[in-house]
Amino acid sequence: MSGIILHPEYGLNPTIIRAMCPVCGKEFETNELALLGRNKGRKADMYTTTHYDLCPEHKKLNDDGYIALVGVDSRKSTYEPDGNLKLEGAYRTGKLAHIRRTVFKDMFGSECPNIPMIFVDSDISDKLEIMQREQEIT
């Protein structure tokens, strides 16, 4: 392992690592530091977002057996050539619902994928939001 080359002005040149939650899109600190030394060529930013990870709130829901349904506008989203929708191409509507993995198949007719979230078109997320609201009332 080679050593870090110190920046002549900023030394270790630390930056606080952040992750972005793929469910809600919020950035949060991961309690990690990166020492950029001279790599950055300039003073490191206070925060650097380096990867996707579930925020504490959505990690708990995932651990408790829920899958997140993230509403997107399919007409405004950018799809990959294979038809998949990546995080960067998703045009989020702000609609978000969580359902138990155990009822996923009853609702969608397919096995629940082993991932923390899926994108759903805004029409579906509107209906789910109404259903979720009705469940909270009863």
Q: Which residues would be at the binding site for Zn ion (CB under 5 A)?
A: 21, 23-24, 55, 58
Identify which of residues 55 and 128 has a Cβ nearer to Zn ion in the complex.
Answer: 55
Q: How far is CA 136 from CA 33, 96, 127, 129, 133, in A?
A: 41, 15, 14, 11, 5
- In the bound state with Zn ion, the residue whose beta carbon lies nearer, of 35 and 61, is 61
CA dihedral 22, 27, 32, 36 (to 10 degrees): 100
The residues, ordered by sequence, that sit 6+ positions from 138 with a Cβ below 8 Å of its Cβ are none
Of 56 and 81, the one with the shorter C-beta distance to Zn ion is 56
Q: Which residue is nearest to Zn ion (CB)?
A: 21
In the bound complex, what is the minimum distance in angstroms from residue 118's beta carbon to Zn ion?
15
Name the minimum Å distance from CB 29 to Zn ion. 13
